[in-house]
Amino acid sequence: MRSIRRVGCLLLAFAMLLSMGMLTAFAQGASKAASGKTYKTVTVIGDSLCTGYMIQKSEGTYVDHTHGKRIRASFPSRVADGVNATVYNNYAREGSGTNEILRLLEPDYVPDEYFRDVSNAVITKYFDGDKQFAAFQKKIQKDIRSSDLILLNCGSNDLFATVNTVLRKLMNYELDNVKSQFKRQVLLDLDATVTELIDDGQPAKAWATAYQVLSTINLADDAVDALLECAVKGYANFQKNWGRIATAIHEINPDATLVAISLFNGTQGLGAIPGTDASIGNLLDPIFVGMNARIVSFNAVHNYYTYVDINGVEHAAWPSLTTLLSDDFYTYMMLCTHPTKAGHKWIAKKVLKKI
């Protein structure tokens, strides 16, 4: 009889341990969102920040253009894992600006002439062409409609989207005024290079190349003027498009939790003059402040989304101006304007706390 009791007690203890283990496993698998809410379908809409571009891999290389591949260390993927999402819809692409996002959401939307050529090139390069983009335009409506959680970030690429018109004007002006045959040839070669990069959907690389070359022939001020003109036009375009993007997403699915991620000025420190606080990148601070103010003020009126401020996110520090001009400026530009792996983890935690 005692043996039977002992066996019974052992079985009961085992059952209790097993149930505790199951409860623990369940607790570990539960949503990490602060609200405790579960989100099964996550849709990501945005640019390279959302793709995980330039996250360092274990072997020391960096994530290159993803074409929609899910990068597990990126903040959207971490958020999806944190809420135990079973469906992950990814419309984030490197190079995307508000024009491309609007074209996804509203197939009839046509960008202004300043942006049209670059927008078409970005679609060809990063969305794999018009046919694939058209398929995305149809699919995104369905995916947004079925989403519980939508992550949105875009706008930074607007600041380079008019580089074709701005640099063309700069080139024409310099070619008309330059007297040195050497400088003239350099500008002609640069003109060809910039045109090729723009046609390939790489406006940021076009500007970076122009700045590096112009600096070597003592025309850096012209390059800075070009950057600021691009930024001002991009700022105006963002101001016009942001509300339309947020409204379009809300109208497709007003019940989804929409999270808008702020922009951050990763160019701070770019081109810093030794011994001073002067920096080309710091000149863009008011632009980014204004863009984020637009995101906040629009929501204050409409309450369509939750805003997450990521200013202060960790990203690589800019090297000296001498290093930039003598090395691969564009690679530094991409690395220093994107969050590190730790930065992505930090953003994911901020999003999870908000939802």
Domain ranges of the chain: 1-30, 34-354
**pLDDT score at 179:** 87
191 φ, ψ (degrees, to nearest 5): -55, -45
pLDDT at 32 exceeding the cut of 90: no
d(CA 245, CA 270): 30
Q: Residues 344, 140, 234, 169: is their CA dihedral positive or negative?
A: positive
With beta carbons less than 8 A apart as the criterion, state whether 39 and 33 touch: yes
CA distance 279 to 293: 23
Rounded CA separation 195/251 (Å): 39
Residue 185 CB partners (closer than 8 Å, separation 6+) = none
Residue with tokens 């059952």: 15
Strand order of the sheet with strand 41-46?
87-90, 41-46, 149-153, 257-261, 306-308
What amino acid occupies position 43?
Answer: T
pTM: 0.89
User: Over 60: is that where the pLDDT of 97 sits?
Assistant: yes
Question: What tokens appear for 134 in the block?
Answer: 């058209």
Nearest alpha carbon to residue 121 among 163, 167, 150, 77: 163
Q: Give the range among 136-140, 169-173, 308-312 with minimum mean pLDDT.
A: 169-173
Residues 154-166 have pLDDT tens digits of 999 999 999 999 9
d(CA 85, CA 230): 39
Largest Cα–Cα distance in the chain? Answer: 110
Q: Tell me which of 3.40.50.970, 3.40.50.2300, 3.40.50.1110, 1.10.1040.10 is the CATH number of domain 34-354.
A: 3.40.50.1110
